[in-house]
Structures are given as structure tokens and as C-alpha cells.
Structure 1
Amino acid sequence: MKKQEVVREYHFSDATLVTKGLEKVAFMERDKPEFEPYGITTELVAVLKDNLNAFAARITDIEALGDQSQAALLKDLKAEELRTALRTIMARVELKYGVNSPKYKKFGTDTLSLQSDAELNITAKRVVRVGTEFLPELTDTGLTATLLEGITTLNDAFTTLLINLKIEIGDRDIEQEDRVEAGNAVYATLMKYTKIGQSIWESTDVSKFNDYIIYNTISGEPEEAPPPTP
């Protein structure tokens, strides 16, 4: 069965989760004697603090996106290098046969600039294969086995970069999901402890009660009431 998409349970940023979480931990350390009767020991608060710090140290999506973008750039540059090399081959083929000949068309490079990565990979293999077949006829236009081997080398490098990009995309998806799950776990513990903090001070100290409030809004602060309609 397909795993359901993990959804973030808090509406504010991860940075806000960390800063507000550490703020609440400081209040819990201050109020340690009041928390202990509820089973929230110093050790449990320390674990929450460690989890918040560990969450803050995780790779962010900005970094993962940067790695993915760099991999995409390298792949695109190699793809263009491969296309340029293929065009040098096809210039020799055109010189020999003309663009309307069946032999030219057998190379299948008419839409080279529009081909997808997968299509480009297949086209490069085909050009090497057909070029090798017609090599004796194309020697006088400058085609050599070395040029065809160069296409294979470029195509292998392009394929490696294409796979690297797929890996970066997959790693980013995994990291995003893991980050949401880790954030949700920290948030759940934080909310549990802060609700206990609210119950401790609800009827005795308004200021300390407010210390344990976390608003699940974009800013983490209470939503402003809309101005009255005139």
C-alpha cells in the first residue's frame, strides 16, 4: 500500500519551531519543581532540547534544492556539449549524403535540440552505431572512429550526470519527508509539555501561563483581529 504523504502539523516555519521550542524549554527549566509532579523530569526536558537542536542542524530544503540545481546544471551543460559533438558528426554526414537522403535520416537527429534527456541518450548511441556502419563511406569527410568514440565518452558522462540528478531529486524528497516527520515529532512533544505548563499556572499566574502559549499560526503569534467595519 502506498504511503500517505506526510503533512506538517504546525503552520509556522521550522526556524520558528526551534526558537519557540528552545524558549519554552528555558521556561520548563525555570519551572522544574512544578513540572516534576507531572512526570516531566529534567531528563525529559533535556531530551526535548537535544531534539530541537538536532532538528535545527538538519539539512534544509534550500541546501537540498541547491544540490539538485547544481546537478541539473552540470547535466544540462554536458547535454549541450553532447549535442554540439553530434552536430559535428552530422555536418560530415550532410556533406556526404545531403539532409534528405535515407542514410542521413537513419541517424535520427532532425529534432536534436528538442529531444528529451532520454531521447538524446538514445540518439547518441544510434549516431555511433550508424556512423560506425557508414564509416568507410564517410572517411573522406573527416569522420573517424576516434570522433565516434568521443560521442560514446560524452554520452556516458551525460548518463552519469543524469543519474546523479535523479539521485539528488530522490534524496531531496526523502529529506523533505524525514524533516516533516522529525518536526512533527518535536512539535507534538513540545505541545504536550506546554499544555502541562498552562495547566500548572492557569489559576495562579497569568504571566507564567502565557509563557507556555504557542499559537499555531504562520508567525507563531496570535492572529490580529480584523479592524471593525465602519
Structure 2
Amino acid sequence: MRKPKLVRNNNLTDAVLKQKADELINLLDRDFVNFAERGYDAAAKTQFVEKRDAVDVFLSDEILEAEKMIATEKKEAARSALEKTMRTILNMAANYFGSQSAQYRAFGPSDLTRQRESDLARNYKIMVVATTRNLAEMVEEGLSQTLIDRLILQGETFDKGIDEVTEAIINRDISTEKRIEALNALYRLVAKYAGIGKDIFYDTNEAKYNDYVIYDTPSETPEEITV
């Protein structure tokens, strides 16, 4: 069964949520005596501070997406170079054996640009075998060990590029999920202590009550935070 996608439990930006956590920690220091009766002690403060600091450990979505894009660009450049070499070798094979011959077909499919990445990564290996076997015969067409070595290197670079893009996507997804978990955990504490503060000062201190009214939108529209 597929794991459901983790979603944010609030619509605050990361920066605004962290700022509100900072404000609450300062308020809780000020009103420590009042909150002590509600279970807020040194250990609870440490936990709150740790939850606030935990959100800084993770890279932003923008940075992670940029890393994926860089990896994708490198992979596409590697593919382009590999296709160029493979196309040259196919031309050599067609000139020597004929494009309708069985020997030519041994070099793999010629529709390089339309091949899926997995197919191209497999087909360059087929071509390595074919070029190695026919090197002596195709020297007159320009085939050389240097060209075969280039084919191998470019194929390995493309293979590595595919893996790096996959890894970048996985890293982005894992990091994003963990960051959302950390932000949700912080928000729950912000909501909890804001609610307790309003409860404590509801009919005793209007100014302090208002200090704990924290809105649930970056624009500060009147939509009070809830657990």
C-alpha cells in the first residue's frame, strides 16, 4: 500500500512559523510562573527550542530542486555526447556493412533520440560489443580503439547521470518530508502554547492575552491558530 503524502498542518511560511516560535519562547520566559502550573518547565522549554532549531537543519525546496535540475542538465549533456558518438559509429557500420544487413543491426537500434534512457544505456553496451568485434574490419571507416574508449566513457557518464538524477529526486523527497514533519511538530507546540496563553490570561490580563493571539496566515488576517 502506497504511503500517503505528508502535508503541512498550517499555511505559514517556514520563516513566519519560526519567527512566531521565537516570539512565543520569549513570552513563555516572561510568563514562566503562570505556565509552570500548565506543565511548562525547563525540560519543556528545551524541547520547544529543539523543535524550533530542527527546522534549520533541512535544505529548502528551492535548493533541492536546483540540485535536481543541475543533475538533469548534466545527464542531458552526457546523453547528447553519447548519441553523437553512437550516431557516428552507426554511420560507419552502415557504410561498411550496409544499413539493411544483419551486421549493422548488431550495433543496436538507430533511433537514438527517441529511445528511453534505460534503453539507450543498454544499447550503448551492445554497441561496445559490436565495435570491439568488428574493429579490425572497420578501421578503414575510421573506427579505432580510441573511439571505442570514448563510447565506453560517455556511456558510463550517462549511466552515472541517470543515477545522480534519481538520487537527487529521492534526496529531495526524503528531505522535504522530514522538513514538513519538523515544521508540523513545531507548529503543534506553537499552537499549544498560544492556546494555553490565551486560556491563562483570558479574563485576567487583556494585553497578555493579545500577546498570545497568533494568526494562522502570513498576511496576519484574523484567523486564529488552532491545534
TM-score (norm 1): 0.88
Q: For 1:8 and 1:122, locate their aligned partners in 2 and report how far apart those are by CA, in whole Å.
A: 41
Query: Greater CA deviation, 72-81 or 42-51?
Result: 42-51
Deviation string for 1:57-83 (max 9, x for gaps)? 421111111211111111111111111
Specify the SS of the correspondent of 2:188: helix
Question: Does 1:119 pair with 2:119?
Answer: yes
Q: Give the corresponding residue for 1:156.
A: 156
Specify the SS of the correspondent of 1:204: coil
Q: For 2:23 and 2:107, locate their aligned partners in 1 and report how far apart those are by CA, in whole Å.
A: 66
**By how many angstroms is 1:220 displaced?**
4.9
**By how many angstroms is 1:149 displaced?**
2.6
Specify the SS of the correspondent of 2:90: helix
Q: For 2:12 and 2:165, locate their aligned partners in 1 and report how far apart those are by CA, in whole Å.
A: 30
> Do the aligned residues in 1 keep the contact of 2:54 with 2:182 (CA within 8 Å)?
no
Aligned residues with identical type, % of pairs: 30
Q: Residues 76 and 39 (structure 1 numbering): CA distance in 2 closer, same or farther, change over 3 Å?
A: same
Aligned length: 223
**By how many angstroms is 1:92 displaced?**
1.5
Deviation string for 1:145-191 (max 9, x for gaps)? 33223211221122122112211111111111111111111111121
Q: Give the corresponding residue for 1:45.
A: 45
**By how many angstroms is 1:96 displaced?**
1.6
> Do the aligned residues in 2 keep the contact of 1:92 with 1:142 (CA within 8 Å)?
yes
Q: Give the corresponding residue for 1:175.
A: 175
> Do the aligned residues in 1 keep the contact of 2:90 with 2:110 (CA within 8 Å)?
no
Q: Give the corresponding residue for 2:4.
A: 4
Q: For 2:204 and 2:56, locate their aligned partners in 1 and report how far apart those are by CA, in whole Å.
A: 34
> Do the aligned residues in 2 keep the contact of 1:6 with 1:180 (CA within 8 Å)?
yes
Q: For 1:212 and 1:57, locate their aligned partners in 2 and report how far apart those are by CA, in whole Å.
A: 27
Unpaired runs of 5+ residues, structure 1, are 224-230
Specify the SS of the correspondent of 1:215: coil
Q: Give the corresponding residue for 2:191.
A: 191
Question: Does 1:144 pair with 2:144?
Answer: yes
**By how many angstroms is 1:218 displaced?**
5.2
Unpaired runs of 5+ residues, structure 2, are none
Question: Does 1:15 pair with 2:3?
Answer: no
Deviation string for 1:110-168 (max 9, x for gaps)? 21112221111111111112222333331211112332232112211221221122111
> Do the aligned residues in 2 keep the contact of 1:75 with 1:161 (CA within 8 Å)?
yes
> Do the aligned residues in 2 keep the contact of 1:72 with 1:165 (CA within 8 Å)?
yes
Q: For 2:218 and 2:27, locate their aligned partners in 1 and report how far apart those are by CA, in whole Å.
A: 23
Specify the SS of the correspondent of 1:38: coil
Q: Residues 132 and 17 (structure 1 numbering): CA distance in 2 closer, same or farther, change over 3 Å?
A: same
Q: Give the corresponding residue for 1:87.
A: 87
Specify the SS of the correspondent of 1:56: coil
Q: For 1:179 and 1:221, locate their aligned partners in 2 and report how far apart those are by CA, in whole Å.
A: 25
> Do the aligned residues in 1 keep the contact of 2:20 with 2:190 (CA within 8 Å)?
no
Query: Greater CA deviation, 194-203 or 211-220?
Result: 211-220
